[in-house]
Amino acid sequence: MKPGRFTYHAPESLDAAFGLLGEYGDDAKILAGGQSLIPMMNLRMARPDHIVDIAAIPELTGISENGEQVTIGSMTCHADIVAAEVLVQRCPILPTAAKFIGHHAIRNRGTIGGSVSHADPAAEWPLIAILLDAGMVVRSSRGERRVQAADFIQSIYTVDLEPDEILTSLVFPVLAADEGWAFQQISRRAGDFAIVTVAVTLALASGGTIERLRLCLGGMDVTPFRLKDVERDATGKAPDATWMDEVAHLAATAGSPESDMHASAEYRREMAAHLTKQALNTAIQRCRGGDG
């Protein structure tokens, strides 16, 4: 299990990277943290002729906050997101989700941008990006464009990224101070690919009814997806057991999950329902000031 041959490039600026990507086109592959790409290369399931390692480009790493949004450079590793105090304060679902990724050694090297660009249907970041309507900042020699996560992540291992483009950062809205949230996942072992993941943000109106809800499911289709109808209809409803059962049922019947060695489609549907209830409960508890 040794990777095939490639030519290695380590540009130190975005412009240099654009030049290389423009030159080699489909023959080039961007190397971010490599925690998904290199195993595939070792198995010779991926064999790019040119590797463009973007680790030396300084502006791709880091976390910043401007009051309403947090911006995370695409080369920021999962471990740095887990540890970022600003995220723990302003968007705690991000560090919580990051803890579910692989193991320590993987989190120390794998990056958020790499994960989203890889678009593994079981991965955490695509799901969180879609949940929060994150903006994907994509740059190339032709300029910068911004794509919403749900549009960026098109299908399994497929994203809206031209061969000469680089995902440079991800922009997430911060959560409101009174906004509850939850991230629930079931996998066989710690750090394994998720079977089903459910993420929720939820705010309650002063009367205790739901003011706004985001609900995103992973593992139930080729990409994570939001239950937009459920979210819309939730506004004004009381977050009681009946409503939760209803939402859980809709979660279970959503998407088009596949059976594989680790879980059947039926099991995924059951877990979608189960985790949805858990996630809603946790989020509501957090809204009400509990720590979930």
Residue 62 in the binding site for another protein (CB under 8 A): no
In this structure, the strands spanning 194-204 and 210-218 are antiparallel
Q: How far apart are CA 288 and CA 292, in angstroms?
A: 9
Q: What is the largest CA-CA distance in the chain?
A: 63
When asked if residue 23 is in the footprint of another protein (CB under 8 A), the reply is: no
* CA nearest neighbour of 19 among 59, 43, 55, 54: 54
Nearest to 62 by CA among 106, 107, 111: 111
Nearest distance from C-beta of residue 130 to another protein, angstroms = 24
Question: Which range of residues in 33-41, 60-68, 221-229, 280-288 is near another protein by CB under 8 A?
Answer: 33-41
101 binds another protein (CB under 8 A): no
φ, ψ for residue 12, nearest 5 deg? -105, 0
Smallest gap from Cβ 185 to another protein, in A, equals 11
Shortest Cβ distance from residue 155 to another protein (Å)?
21
Task: Tell me the closest approach of the beta carbon of residue 263 to another protein, in angstroms.
Answer: 5
Question: One symbol per residue from 108 to 127: x for binding another protein (CB under 8 A), - otherwise; what is it?
Answer: xx------------------
What would the two tokens of residue 171 be? Answer: 């922009």
Least distance between another protein and beta carbon 265 (Å): 10
Cβ–Cβ < 8 Å for 4, 86: no
The contact set with another protein (CB under 8 A) reads: 1-8, 10, 31, 34-35, 38-39, 41-44, 51, 53, 55, 79, 102-106, 108-109, 186, 188-193, 261-264, 266-267, 270-271, 274
